């Protein structure tokens, strides 16, 4: 769940920047890519920034470093959102998955921040996400119970994902979870 929460926090940082500098953010659309399933799909639409932040908080509450490897891992990406600015609606979207464009009067600096900073950080997370490899196994104890020939199985922990990237993802999560 660290990747899920990290990617959602990253989205929330840039949505709050737009909300503070450009106007009220609404109609937020995100996509979700789940590791080991090879499916990208659109996530739910959030009517308001507050609704989206509630989802971020719910996901954040599930982060547990002791259980990092037990859940299916997903990566979220910002697809589009609307901004109400001076009583007119502007849309920011990323349809080609390359860069964000806008239909409306949005500051070039704010758009540049989204296209350069957000996408750069997202790409770093995306690379680490795809370096994770699934290799389920059950830890066993070396102890042999009386009368048993083989070590017994401890059912308390199943390891799922392995890579050096897990530690880097934890660091990025700690870095971005409290911004703004």
pLDDT in tens, 15-24: 999 999 999 9
pLDDT for res 108: 92
d(CA 52, CA 26): 9
pLDDT in tens, 37-52: 666 778 789 999 999 9
pLDDT for res 162: 59
Query: What single DSSP character describes residue 38?
Result: T
User: What's this model's pTM, rounded to 2 decimal places?
Assistant: 0.77
- Cα–Cα separations (whole angstroms), residue 178 to 7, 83, 125, 140, 152: 13, 24, 17, 38, 43
Q: Which two tokens stand for residue 158?
A: 């199943």
pLDDT in tens, 65-76: 544 444 567 889
Query: What single DSSP character describes residue 113?
Result: I
pLDDT for res 74: 85
């Amino acid at each position: 769940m660290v990747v899920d929460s990290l990617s959602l926090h990253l989205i929330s940082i840039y949505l709050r920047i737009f909300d503070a500098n450009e106007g009220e953010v609404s109609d937020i659309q995100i996509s979700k890519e789940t590791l080991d399933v090879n499916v990208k799909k659109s996530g739910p639409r959030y009517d308001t920034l507050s609704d989206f932040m509630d989802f971020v908080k719910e996901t954040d509450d599930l982060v547990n470093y002791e259980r990092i490897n037990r859940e299916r891992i997903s990566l979220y990406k910002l697809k589009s959102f609307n901004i109400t600015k001076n009583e007119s609606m502007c849309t920011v979207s990323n349809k080609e998955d390359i860069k964000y464009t806008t239909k409306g009067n949005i500051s070039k600096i704010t758009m540049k921040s989204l296209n350069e900073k957000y996408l750069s950080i997202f790409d770093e997370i995306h690379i680490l996400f795809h370096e994770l490899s699934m290799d389920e196994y059950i830890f066993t104890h070396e102890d042999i119970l009386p009368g048993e020939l083989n070590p017994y199985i401890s059912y308390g922990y199943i390891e799922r994902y392995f890579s050096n990237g897990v530690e880097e993802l934890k660091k990025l999560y700690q870095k971005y979870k409290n911004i703004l």
